[in-house]
Amino acid sequence: MIGLRVEHLDHPLGIHTRAPRFSWRLPAGGARQVAYRIRTSNGWDTGRVDSDRSVLVPYEGPPLGSAQRVTWRVRVWADTGDLGWSSEDWFEMGLLRADDWTARWIQPREDEVPPPGERPAHLLRTLFTVDGGGPARLYITAHGLYEAFLNGVRVGDAELTPGYTQYASRLQVQTYDVTDLLRPGANALGVVLADGWFRGQTGALRSADQWGHHVALLAQLTVDGVPVSITGAHWRTAPAPIVADLIAGEQTDLRSMPTRWASPVFDDAAWTGAIGADHRFDILTDSPAPPVRRVEELAPVAVTRPAPGRQVVDLGRAINGWVRLRGLGPAGTRVVLTHGEHLDADGNVTTDHLRPAFPFLPAPLPAGMVDAVVSTGRPHETFEPRRTTHGFRYVQLDGHAADVTGVVVHTDMRRTGWFSCSDERLNALHEAALWSFRGNACDIPTDCPQRERAGWTGDWQVFVPTAAFLYDVAGFATKWLRDVAADQWDDGTVANMSPCPPAEGRGSTVAGLNGSAGWGDAAVIVPWELYRAYGDERILADMWPVMTAWLARAARMARTGRHPDRAAARPTPAPHEKHLWDTGFHWGEWLEPGGSNPFSGADMGDVATAYLCYSAGLTARIADILGSDASGYRELARQARDAWRCEFMGTDGRLAPDTQANHVRALAFDLVPAGSRSAVAARLVDLVRATGTHVGTGFLATPYLLPVLADAGHLDVAYDLLRQDTEPSWLTMIDRGATTMWERWDGVDASGVAHESLNHYAKGAVVSFLHRYVAGLSPVEPAYRRFRVRPRPGGGVTWASAEHESPYGRISVRWTLADDVLAVDITVPPGTTAEFAGRELAPGEHRCAVPHNGGKGRRP
Ligand code: RAM
């Protein structure tokens, strides 16, 4: 057996899950599992279990204790015979109880706290001795961002720890194996503590101090399970010569950085004692996700000198992360780094399009993303700002021309999806969507990596199926959903973003913007998509209270309120209005070309009622899976659908509003009667053709546009839209040089001026069409246990291929079209079944050929 995993991680260290789930894969070949047996080092033995289950099998052994390390193996019997025992894998528990901590919270002395963006990081250190050497662990977390060093050596390679969560109720602790960093005798533990999300600027409002006014640290180092170093009043602290803020940037004068400050020999007599702090232990938790890491480095592709003393470095693509500088110049040389996604007409970096602007502010807020460093003049010196992040492609260096390496930073997820085809522009589009996701997966799924960097629910909801094809997002999305749950209001409102900083949540001046349809529905749609991609039922169970409270709120709002326009037009409510959700704030189709402004109070009942129907329907299916009563949700979906029809579908079958988005939703969410589908699709085609075959949808309907056209027999129109290259269209972005997806269709306009974010993955959800229709690979049963291969050639594409590393193993589909014959190579992993051209394919390699009518779109 291969690919042994615990939860969604490779041998996790420090988990809190009391019943971790085991997964394994069968070696490639034709096998199907018929039985398994799991044995753990703490005495759990399942014996032979006749079952084909190999994904997420829960541990049911003796209760697991704090810091307990467990090894496990699995033996599998397949239809081809006994496959024997796997090699050994392990997991280790974290500190599960508050009283496992003897460490106390500490904070550095801060007599005066400068304004956000200008605050120094702090150095904290302690000395301790060890005499014997057993396994050593560092359990550590912070209010702010910590970076730990043992005897001067950096602990681990995780970045931006402890990660971004709803700190009011969830704070992650990392567990590191530090056995190899300790030495007999004196040891020093040092920590750099910066503001991070906890206290630094967050979101478009640039709010700071969202969870507290002071940074703080909690750390406990154990050898053989016994604490040998803990945070407490004996720690020494000093401000660091580093000013760091996630949004503003990081500035340092390397000449002022004490050398060897994290080693035992350093004299910290001039530092001050740490202050004890009274922070919570009961909210400490683990992370179900892999950590953020430096995952890739990029060499510059071009360097220009638009002005004296200035150079502009082009990394060739937009990323999230930072740069590493070498060659910092003679002592005292200062270089200022301005990061951005776009150049102005003179070739300088511009961030004007990224500055948050609001009607209630006199001027747009600063874009930030400016770093600066002053050199010591020492050879081989480097600068790497690890306490900030930037969304950028270009970096402008003023003052000195240092050597630049781009550092790509995001959650270190496993890549699981690939696509390519004969059309290079479609490949470029796929690459842009992929990199937009990579640019927005920095511990949480963000809308954009430069402007507000917030975990907007709607953006992730529309993109999660695409992301789950490209990367293993199971742990990453689970972590985020825990914050969605933590952020939910008592009345069921789901916050716009998670983690939701208090300045944007309940009780804030913008509280009323939370709870929008299509955004809050992430509480239903994201768990559902994770279930589909990974077969994870527990996430459905965990999110059940959240999704049902969200639906109860929507149903209640539908029942109790009326949109003023409707009330004016129809003083007596029609009976169906009890299930029409037309009140509250909604982003609506958001950024729909020519669409209504959500702040105008326009009626968004068509969008909201459609989502009520869709989410209620999904919740009914989830109830079936969990063995709960689905009938109420099925009924709610039916009532919402009827209300939608009564209100938005005329007796002549025409839909209002007469927009692409409304027609797309009607088809995607099954809102119209079966007999009307083809007429609705025909009208959608008319609407598309009336715009000269241009996409007219905004955020919500865009992912469904091409699929509904293809499913309704208009594959040619779907391809025409996909390949359209005049604005608005996807390929306009590619032709204008986009390396990530833009927030707006006119992100860079015809005259080369940038508007808003150039790195928003939402519109990139179109690449699911490449996976599922062009290459033709889509899941039928959870975790791709059963999948469909149905290539839909068109648009002049002569070959396409997709690969997906599913929980059962690697699926691959590759087709070529020649002489009206579609030749398809399919790899079906062990334990799965593929559907192709009306046949069922067993595990193994298959080569199939079917007649094809020259790409006109009939099924092969
Ligand atoms: C924008 C964000 C996000 C979107 C919301 C409604 O500011 O960038 O993409 O979901 O607004």
Q: Give the DSSP letter string of 590-614.
A: -S-TTPPPGGGT---HHHHHHHHHH
Residue with CA at minimum distance from ligand 1 atom 6: 587
d(CA 122, CA 274) in angstroms, rounded, equals 11
Report how far apart the first and last C-alpha atoms of the chain are (Å, whole number): 36
Q: Which atom, in ligand 1's list, is nearest to the CA of 760?
A: 9
Please, which residues bridge with residue 805 across strands? 810
822-850 pLDDT per residue, tens: 999 999 999 999 999 999 999 999 999 99
Neighbours of 15 (CB within 10 A): 21
The answer to whether residue 603 scores a pLDDT higher than 50 is yes
The answer to whether residue 9 scores a pLDDT higher than 50 is yes
d(CA 838, CA 659) in angstroms, rounded, equals 36
**What is the CA 635 to chain-centroid distance, rounded?**
33
* CA 444 – ligand 1 centroid, Å: 15
Q: Which atom, in ligand 1's list, is nearest to the CA of 756?
A: 8
d(CA 267, CA 260) in angstroms, rounded, equals 10
d(CA 621, CA 667) in angstroms, rounded, equals 19
Residue listed under structure tokens 């033996």: 75
pLDDT of 822 reads: 97
Q: Which residues line ligand 1 (CB under 6 A)?
A: 447-448, 456, 458-459, 587, 590, 760
d(CA 412, CA 473) in angstroms, rounded, equals 10
Neighbours of 479 (CB within 10 A): 26
Q: What are the boundaries of each domain within the chain?
A: 2-93, 98-242+257-287, 293-407, 473-648, 650-713, 788-851
Token digits of residue 836? 């192709």
pLDDT of 29 reads: 78
Please, which residues bridge with residue 138 across strands? 176, 221
Residue listed under structure tokens 């950096």: 154
Q: What is the CATH number of domain 98-242+257-287?
A: 2.60.120.260
Helix axes 424-438, 457-470, angle to 10 degrees: 120
Residue listed under structure tokens 């949480």: 444
d(CA 71, CA 59) in angstroms, rounded, equals 12
Token digits of residue 694? 């241009």
pLDDT of 31 reads: 85
pLDDT of 854 reads: 55
The answer to whether residue 855 scores a pLDDT higher than 80 is no
CATH fold for the domain made of 293-407: Jelly Rolls (2.60.120)
Token digits of residue 841? 């394919």
300-311 pLDDT per residue, tens: 999 999 999 999
Question: Probe ligand 1: pick from 355, 436, 456, 699, max atoms within 8 Å of CB?
Answer: 456
For residue 499, whether the previous peptide bond is cis, meaning omega lies within 30 degrees of 0, is yes
Phi and psi, residue 568, nearest 5°: -70, -40
751-791 pLDDT per residue, tens: 999 999 999 999 999 999 999 999 999 999 999 999 999 99
Contact in structure between 177 and 135 (CB atoms under 8 Å): yes
Q: Say which residues have a Cβ less than 8 Å from residue 798's Cβ, sequence separation at least 6.
A: 422, 816, 817, 818
d(CA 159, CA 360) in angstroms, rounded, equals 35
Neighbours of 2 (CB within 10 A): 11
Which one of 2.60.420.10, 3.40.50.10300, 2.60.40.420, 2.40.440.10 gives the CATH number of domain 788-851? 2.60.420.10
CATH fold for the domain made of 2-93: Immunoglobulin-like (2.60.40)
Please, which residues bridge with residue 319 across strands? 392
Question: Probe ligand 1: pick from 437, 447, 448, 740, max atoms within 8 Å of CB?
Answer: 447
- Write the CA distances from 137 to 148, 227, 342, 407, integer angstroms: 13, 9, 45, 28
CA neighbor of 12 nearest in space, from 100, 89, 97: 89
Token digits of residue 618? 């999904």
Please, which residues bridge with residue 817 across strands? 822
Residue with CA at minimum distance from ligand 1 atom 5: 456
The answer to whether residue 859 scores a pLDDT higher than 60 is no
Token digits of residue 505? 């949540």
Contact in structure between 559 and 538 (CB atoms under 8 Å): no
d(CA 677, CA 356) in angstroms, rounded, equals 42
> H or E stretch including 707?
helix 702-711
* CA 832 – ligand 1 centroid, Å: 39
d(CA 720, CA 769) in angstroms, rounded, equals 13
Contact in structure between 106 and 146 (CB atoms under 8 Å): no
CA neighbor of 128 nearest in space, from 61, 212, 184: 184
* CA 464 – ligand 1 centroid, Å: 16
Q: What is the DSSP letter of 140?
A: E
685-721 pLDDT per residue, tens: 999 999 999 999 999 999 999 999 999 999 999 999 9
Residue 860 — pLDDT band, cuts 50, 70, 90? very low
Residue listed under structure tokens 């293993």: 472
Pairing of strands 777-779, 786-789: antiparallel
Residue 283 — pLDDT band, cuts 50, 70, 90? very high
Residue with CA at minimum distance from ligand 1 atom 9: 447
Residue with CA at minimum distance from ligand 1 atom 3: 447
* CA 211 – ligand 1 centroid, Å: 23
Question: Hey, do 2-93 and 788-851 end up sharing a CATH topology, with the first three levels equal?
Answer: no
The answer to whether residue 133 scores a pLDDT higher than 90 is no
What percent of the chain is modeled with pLDDT above 70? 99
Token digits of residue 107? 């904070």
Phi and psi, residue 180, nearest 5°: -75, -10
Contact in structure between 61 and 43 (CB atoms under 8 Å): yes
Residue with CA at minimum distance from ligand 1 atom 2: 447
Q: Which atom, in ligand 1's list, is nearest to the CA of 598?
A: 6
> H or E stretch including 528?
helix 522-534
Q: Which atom, in ligand 1's list, is nearest to the CA of 451?
A: 8
Q: Which atom, in ligand 1's list, is nearest to the CA of 447?
A: 9
pLDDT of 857 reads: 42
* CA 355 – ligand 1 centroid, Å: 14
* CA 740 – ligand 1 centroid, Å: 16
Contact in structure between 231 and 157 (CB atoms under 8 Å): no
Neighbours of 502 (CB within 10 A): 16
Residue with CA at minimum distance from ligand 1 atom 1: 447
Averaged over 209-219, what is the pLDDT? Answer: 98
Pairing of strands 185-194, 145-150: antiparallel
Residue type, 257: M
* CA 201 – ligand 1 centroid, Å: 18
DSSP 3-state of 784: helix
Q: Which atom, in ligand 1's list, is nearest to the CA of 516?
A: 6
Neighbours of 713 (CB within 10 A): 15
Question: Probe ligand 1: pick from 459, 592, 740, 761, max atoms within 8 Å of CB?
Answer: 459
Neighbours of 764 (CB within 10 A): 30
pLDDT of 858 reads: 42
Q: What is the DSSP letter of 728?
A: S
Q: Say which residues have a Cβ less than 8 Å from residue 739's Cβ, sequence separation at least 6.
A: 316, 317, 318, 393, 431, 432, 435
* CA 539 – ligand 1 centroid, Å: 26
Averaged over 673-677, what is the pLDDT? Answer: 97
Catalytic residues: 452, 743
The answer to whether residue 407 scores a pLDDT higher than 60 is yes
> What is the second-level CATH architecture of the domain 473-648?
Alpha/alpha barrel (1.50)
Residue type, 813: V
pLDDT of 360 reads: 85
The answer to whether residue 541 scores a pLDDT higher than 90 is yes
Neighbours of 195 (CB within 10 A): 30
Mean pLDDT of the chain: 97
